[in-house]
């Protein structure tokens, strides 16, 4: 695409959409065009062009503009401008602050408003729900958006929603589903040179590999987004695989690479960008250059109230930190962190990580009970409700309509329910539930 200096606002939107899915080479000429002669882009388009293209190399001015734009969303009436602002701040870890405005966009779409904006809002909300530990909600939001994509033939828009679904699958141990989605992404992205979708696929594979304990593979996939020791220009997804790269590097003895990547993060001031990134930076430094001051800084970050807003990241940090403390014979401290990590993983349904945390706890001499992982007590309230309706003979479609879910979400819940109840078929549900009446 040749970017001209007489871009209209509509042209700018189209160019940004092209650049978002393109490779790093697409952004510089677009920035040159946007900085050229009038008409200049609207505020949210200018912010989107700067913050989305290279969030690692943010400036205080960009962050100030981002925070001001998010604050202004309370009074924004345009679904498109709301979505573009949320997209601009997604990699800056500010999606949660956009939650209510994005929900307005979704409601507007459900009432006959802009479908495209509603789909994008659903996927942004799903991303936020995944990162903030509301995983059942993330699945429902992503499924609703994907269903709209199928209904309206918007395949191009679906990849963000499929990313969230695949990350959920990887985190909860459905490795085949995650791998299949990553393969589909590669197949679609390669001929189109869609760099961001290729990065999505690498992210999915890195998280899948970490869940399997395949740390060399995880390091290779995370490094494919941006090599260790650098945050490549125009590779925004590097901020979302940052933790994967550090964790994989530490587990494979690549301390030099981990230290270099942490130094690059400090140089970019990622630790001041968000509590999540600060936590990961401090955790990496405590593991690669252990000291009393590093441990103290990490402990403070772990207990900070804002850190709890990202429970999966927090639990992964506590698992790594607890494992380190166990190896250096600080058993009491290790047990505290490992127990807290296991509790979070178990609540999220992050089965592979729960297994790892339990294994580390056993290595400290604690007997770990797994009774909470099976039986009725293991079901979430929604899983129990779905299971009861299925046991009563309702189809997935009927259950979905009754609970305002998609049939795919119902199927996913039942997929998780069966092993928890120790059964393999729908016919066994009634006995497993003890003939409890459906709600």
Mean of pLDDT values over 281-290:
95
Residue at 38 is within a domain: no
User: What is the reported pLDDT for 439?
Assistant: 47
Residue at 424 is within a domain: yes
36 preceded by cis ω (within 30°)? no
User: What is the reported pLDDT for 425?
Assistant: 75
Please, are residues 252 and 215 in contact by the beta-carbon 8 Å criterion? yes
Instruction: Give helix 175-192 / helix 158-172 axis angle, nearest 10°.
Output: 150
Mean of pLDDT values over 306-319:
95
Mean of pLDDT values over 78-95:
93
User: What is the reported pLDDT for 420?
Assistant: 78
Residue range(s) defining the domain that contains residue 410: 376-432
User: What is the reported pLDDT for 374?
Assistant: 60
Above 80 in pLDDT, residue 317?
yes
Closest CA to 351 of 409, 412, 420: 420
CA distance 354 to 360: 10
- Name residue, tokens 């993983």: 345
User: What is the reported pLDDT for 438?
Assistant: 45
In the structure, what pLDDT confidence band is assigned to residue 40 with cuts at 50, 70 and 90?
Answer: low
User: What is the reported pLDDT for 4?
Assistant: 34
pLDDT digits (tens, 9 = 90+) for 178-228: 999 999 999 999 998 888 999 999 999 999 999 999 999 999 999 999 999
DSSP state of 174: -
In the structure, what pLDDT confidence band is assigned to residue 2 with cuts at 50, 70 and 90?
Answer: very low
Residue at 403 is within a domain: yes
Above 60 in pLDDT, residue 136?
yes
Residue at 408 is within a domain: yes
As a whole number, the mean pLDDT across the chain is 88
Token pair recorded at residue 30:
């677009």
Percentage of the chain exceeding pLDDT 70: 88
Closest CA to 53 of 32, 74, 39, 36: 32
In the structure, what pLDDT confidence band is assigned to residue 3 with cuts at 50, 70 and 90?
Answer: very low
Above 80 in pLDDT, residue 159?
yes
CA distance 197 to 406: 25
Mean of pLDDT values over 233-252:
95
User: What is the reported pLDDT for 346?
Assistant: 92
Task: Tell me the whole-structure pTM to 2 decimals.
Answer: 0.81
359: phi then psi, degrees, rounded to nearest 5: -65, -40
Mean of pLDDT values over 297-324:
94
CA distance 360 to 29: 51
pLDDT digits (tens, 9 = 90+) for 289-309: 989 999 999 999 999 988 999
CB neighbours of residue 178 within 10 Å? 23
Token pair recorded at residue 295:
């441990």
Closest CA to 281 of 303, 305, 257, 297: 297
Above 50 in pLDDT, residue 437?
no
Residue at 394 is within a domain: yes
DSSP alpha helix (H) spans, 252-380: 255-267, 275-288, 292-303, 311-327, 331-348, 351-363
Above 60 in pLDDT, residue 357?
yes
In the structure, what pLDDT confidence band is assigned to residue 430 with cuts at 50, 70 and 90?
Answer: confident
Residue at 421 is within a domain: yes
Above 70 in pLDDT, residue 370?
no
Which residues make Cβ contacts (< 8 Å) with residue 125, sequence separation at least 6? 99, 102, 103, 106, 141
What 3-state class would DSSP assign to 76?
A: coil
Q: Give DSSP secondary structure letters for 349-417.
A: T-HHHHHHHHHHHHHTTPPPP-GGGSSGGGS-HHHHHHHHHHHTT--HHHHHHHHT--HHHHHHHHHHH
CA distance 421 to 318: 29
Number of domains in the chain: 1
In the structure, what pLDDT confidence band is assigned to residue 381 with cuts at 50, 70 and 90?
Answer: confident
pLDDT digits (tens, 9 = 90+) for 392-424: 999 999 998 888 777 877 887 887 788 778 777
Which CATH number is 397's domain given? 1.10.10.10
């Amino acid at each position: 695409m040749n970017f001209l200096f007489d871009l209209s606002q509509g042209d700018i939107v189209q160019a940004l959409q092209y650049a978002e899915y393109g490779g790093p080479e697409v952004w510089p000429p677009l920035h040159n065009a946007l900085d050229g002669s009038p008409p200049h882009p609207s505020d949210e388009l200018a912010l989107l062009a700067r913050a989305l293209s290279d969030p690692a190399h943010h400036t205080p001015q960009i962050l100030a503009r981002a925070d001001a734009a998010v604050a202004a969303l309370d009074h924004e009436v345009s679904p498109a401008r709301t979505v573009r602002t949320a997209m601009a701040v997604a990699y800056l870890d500010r999606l949660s602050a956009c939650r209510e405005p994005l929900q307005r966009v979704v409601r507007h779409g459900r009432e006959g408003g802009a479908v495209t904006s509603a789909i994008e809002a659903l996927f942004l909300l799903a991303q936020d729900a995944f990162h903030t530990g509301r995983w059942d909600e993330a699945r429902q939001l992503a499924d609703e958006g994907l269903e709209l994509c199928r209904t309206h033939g918007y395949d191009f828009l679906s990849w963000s929603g499929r990313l969230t679904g695949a990350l959920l699958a990887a985190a909860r141990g459905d490795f085949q589903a995650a791998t299949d989605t990553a393969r589909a992404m590669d197949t679609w992205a390669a001929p189109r040179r869609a760099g961001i979708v290729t990065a999505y696929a690498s992210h999915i594979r890195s998280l899948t590999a970490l869940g399997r304990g395949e740390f060399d593979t995880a390091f290779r996939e995370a490094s494919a987004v941006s090599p260790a020791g650098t945050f490549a220009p125009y590779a925004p997804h590097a901020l979302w695989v940052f933790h994967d790269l550090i964790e994989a590097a530490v587990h494979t003895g690549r301390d030099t690479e981990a230290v270099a990547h942490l130094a690059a993060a400090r140089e970019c001031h990622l630790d001041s960008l968000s509590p999540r990134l600060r936590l990961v930076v401090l955790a990496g430094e405590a593991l690669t250059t252990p000291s009393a001051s590093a441990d103290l800084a990490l402990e403070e970050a772990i207990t900070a109230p804002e850190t709890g807003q990202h429970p999966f990241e927090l639990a992964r940090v506590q698992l790594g930190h607890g494992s380190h403390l166990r190896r250096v014979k600080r058993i009491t401290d290790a047990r505290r962190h490992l127990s807290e990590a296991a509790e979070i993983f178990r609540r999220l349904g992050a089965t592979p990580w729960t297994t790892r945390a339990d294994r580390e706890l056993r290595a400290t001499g604690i007997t770990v009970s797994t009774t909470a992982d099976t039986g009725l007590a293991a079901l979430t309230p929604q899983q129990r409700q779905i299971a009861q309706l299925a046991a009563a003979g309702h189809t997935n479609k009927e259950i979905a309509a009754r609970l305002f879910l998609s049939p795919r979400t119902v199927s996913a819940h039942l997929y998780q329910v069966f092993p928890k109840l120790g059964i393999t078929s729908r016919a066994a549900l009634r006995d497993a539930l003890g003939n409890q009446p459906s709600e």
